Chain A
Amino acid sequence: MHSLAFNQIIGYVIICFGILFDFFGVLGLLRLPDVYNRLQAATKCVTFGSAGILIGVFIYSGFTPTGFKAILCTVFILLTSPVSAHAIAKAAHNSGIEMAEETIVDHYLEDMNNEPTEDK
């Protein structure tokens, strides 16, 4: 392996952290019991992991076109991924997908049953 500069070593370390968290998120997608828990684990870990990889790429390559595009892409990810997560969660709850057996409380369903639902 060719020798690396100091910022490149730090970039590789941050990239490795990002890949580790990506892996944990995917493991959560496989192991957790129902769709809401999967959504939590997967959204948090994979968003943070991919943002970590992009920041690592920025530190690795410095102030070059690759670095600027990586920063722009990080902002896009951090803004869009929570929005799509709660769109999917609300849609799954409204279309009647059941929660897991371990669930102990659901105030959202109680409030939706109390109020008359308006027609869309």
Chain B
Amino acid sequence: MKLENKSRIAVFVLSCIVWFLITLNFSLASIVAGIILSAVTAIFAGEILIITERKFHLGRVFYTIGYIIKLFWEMLKANFHVAYIVVHPKLPVKPGIVRVKTKLTRDSALTMLANSITLTPGTLTVDINKDEKILYVHWIYVKSQDIKVSTEEIGSRFEKILEVVFE
């Protein structure tokens, strides 16, 4: 099967799930309308979801669950960090934009890495240079300007898990 059609089928299934979660109405008219709308969406905008092919294996599912748990734990830490900074009378900030080196290559992996960095303590992704694989990260309390230290502190928390999940 061609890759575009696979991507269209994935978009069709996802749209059907979202439709039934929003309506929660299993009469005949609702089911027909949902299937027609999902098919229209899949035909016109379906080919952009999956771009490159890869094999499925079971370990990825467990790593995804572990990734979600780790993401929630880091978000909780981030919120207490920001709350401490905001409530403190003297506002202890020392901001700056540093470089972070990454090993990931795929688009989806880079997007999820940037989103995870944005939701974790004190950091916010500003831009990505895809050719040299460098992320520019705004850090609210800069500990060191060296690229190795910042990569160790910011990037490597998620890189090992994301390498298994998305590569």
Contact = CB atoms under 8 A, between A and B. Distances in A.
A and B touch in the complex (CB under 8 A): yes
Nearest to A21: B79
B140 to A, nearest CB: 6
A7 B60 CA distance: 33
A39 B126 CA distance: 11
A28 B94 contact: no
A25 B161 CA distance: 29
B93 interface: yes
Contacts of B95: 34, 36-37, 99-100, 102-104
B96 A40 contact: no
User: For the side of the interface on A, what is the size category?
Assistant: 35 or more
Interface string B105-126: 0000000001100110011111
A86 B125 contact: yes
A44 B22 CA distance: 27
A37 B115 CA distance: 17
Given A47-B119, A103-B95, A24 B79 contact: yes
Given A44-B82, A45-B79, A100-B95, A24 B87 contact: yes
**Which applies to chain B's interface (DSSP): helix, strand, loop or mixed?**
mixed
A48 B79 contact: yes
Nearest to B132: A111
B149 to A, nearest CB: 13
A93 B21 contact: no
Interface string B4-30: 000000000000001001101000000
B145 interface: yes
Given A36-B124, A89-B126, A103 B82 contact: no
Interface of A: 21, 24-25, 27-28, 31-34, 36-37, 39-41, 43-45, 47-48, 65, 68-69, 71-72, 78-79, 82-83, 85-86, 89-90, 93, 99-100, 102-109, 111
